[in-house]
């Protein structure tokens, strides 16, 4: 798919993969709609993109709320028209065993990324179907390919996001809309783990054999996935090899995830 001249909506654009992706798309002459909750951060990013000669607009919204996603969709469609590319990169939530997770946090873990992606897609899908052209990409997690201990709500939400992505692909099979599940490795310059203290230590030790990547490296992978209209993409490539091991030798993969993963510190 040709990125230049396309209208791209990027959720989670205030930091991490979303921010890096917005910058890379703008550099390739896409028109970029920046979506996240932090308005000031989005406006700063939009100014940075415009100063470099690109086109960008900040649309602050809390996508975990269906009315805000609907309002955002109406505003973008009225002002700019239907998007050609839709990228779901919003994510949140600390890694905890289920019994450690406060009751009120459980729906929040599912709200972002799953409900946010579902609401945002619903807001734009009729218009994208009418133009019969587009690309929808979800930034998923390796946790939705192989669960690991100590991150129950996080893992469940990522499985839900991958399920949404696969279901959309089936729904849109006879159309010219394409759907991609993108799986990045650990992002070493992301704010995610600093915002969720204690989560980094729960990465299974076996996963540390996979090289970490930067947010920009992930964004470059997303750009490549869009250009190739890929169904699924892993960055870095050793992550794909590990995924194949988990697919063909599931018992071994499950044992490695458990034996090198987090342990309960109390009964």
91-123: buried (b, 16+ CB within 10 Å) or exposed (e) per residue?
A: bbbbbbbeebbeeeebebbbbbbbbbbbbbbeb
d(CA 207, CA 179): 27
CATH of the domain at 14: 3.40.50.720
Let me know if residue 267 belongs to a domain.
no
Euclidean distance between CA atoms 209 and 187, whole angstroms: 14
- Does residue 51 lie in a domain region? yes
pLDDT at 200 > cutoff 60: yes
Q: Is residue 194 part of a domain?
A: yes
Cα–Cα distance for residue pair 85/229, rounded to 1 Å: 11
pTM above 0.85, yes or no: yes
Confidence grade of residue 266 (pLDDT, cut at 50, 70, 90): low
- 33 occurs within a structural domain: yes
Do the domain assignments include residue 1?
A: no
Residue 184 falls inside a structural domain: yes
**Measured distance CA(182)–CA(12) in Å, rounded:** 15
Distance from C-alpha of 127 to C-alpha of 217, rounded to nearest angstrom:
31
Domain range enclosing 181: 7-259
User: Beta-carbon neighbour count of residue 199 at 10 Å?
Assistant: 19
Nearest residue to 91 via CA among 241, 208, 211, 191? 191
Diameter of the chain measured on Cα atoms: 57
The pLDDT tens digits of the residues spanning 33-88 come to: 999 999 999 999 999 999 999 999 999 999 999 999 999 999 999 999 999 999 99
pLDDT > 80? residue 94: yes
DSSP state of 212: P
Split at pLDDT 50, 70, 90, the class of 173 is very high
The domain total for the chain is 1
208-222 residue pLDDT tens: 899 999 999 999 999
**Pairing assessment for the beta strands 134-139 and 85-88 based on DSSP bridges:** parallel
Establish if 2 belongs to a structural domain. Answer: no
Look at residue 129 and tell me if it is in a domain. yes
CB 153 within 8 A of CB 137: no
Rounded Cα gap, residues 159 and 177, in angstroms? 22
CA–CA separation, 234 vs 243, rounded Å? 9
């Amino acid at each position: 798919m040709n990125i230049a001249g396309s209208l791209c909506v990027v959720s989670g654009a205030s930091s991490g993969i979303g921010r890096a992706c917005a910058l890379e798309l703008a550099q390739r002459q896409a028109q970029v709609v920046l979506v996240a909750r932090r308005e000031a951060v989005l406006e700063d990013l939009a100014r940075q993109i415009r100063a470099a000669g690109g086109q960008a607009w900040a649309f602050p919204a809390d996508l975990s709320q269906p009315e805000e996603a609907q309002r955002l969709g109406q505003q973008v469609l009225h002002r700019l028209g239907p998007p050609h590319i839709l990228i779901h990169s919003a994510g949140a939530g600390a890694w905890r065993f289920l019994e450690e997770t406060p009751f009120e946090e459980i729906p929040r873990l599912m709200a972002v990324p799953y409900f946010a992606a579902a609401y945002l897609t619903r807001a734009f899908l009729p218009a994208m179907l009418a133009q019969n052209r587009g690309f929808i990409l979800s930034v998923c997690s390796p946790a939705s390919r192989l669960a690991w201990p100590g991150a129950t709500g996080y893992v469940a939400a990522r499985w839900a996001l991958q399920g949404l992505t696969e279901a959309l692909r089936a729904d849109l099979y006879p159309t010219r809309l394409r759907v991609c599940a993108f799986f990045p490795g650990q992002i070493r310059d992301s704010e995610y783990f600093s915002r969720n203290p204690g989560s980094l230590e729960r990465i299974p030790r076996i996963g540390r054999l996979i090289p970490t990547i930067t947010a920009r490296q992930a964004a470059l992978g997303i750009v490549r996935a869009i250009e190739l209209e890929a169904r699924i993409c892993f960055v870095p490539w050793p992550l794909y090899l590990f995924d194949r091991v988990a697919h063909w030798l599931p018992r071994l993969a499950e044992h490695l995830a458990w034996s090198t993963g987090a342990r309960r510190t109390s009964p």
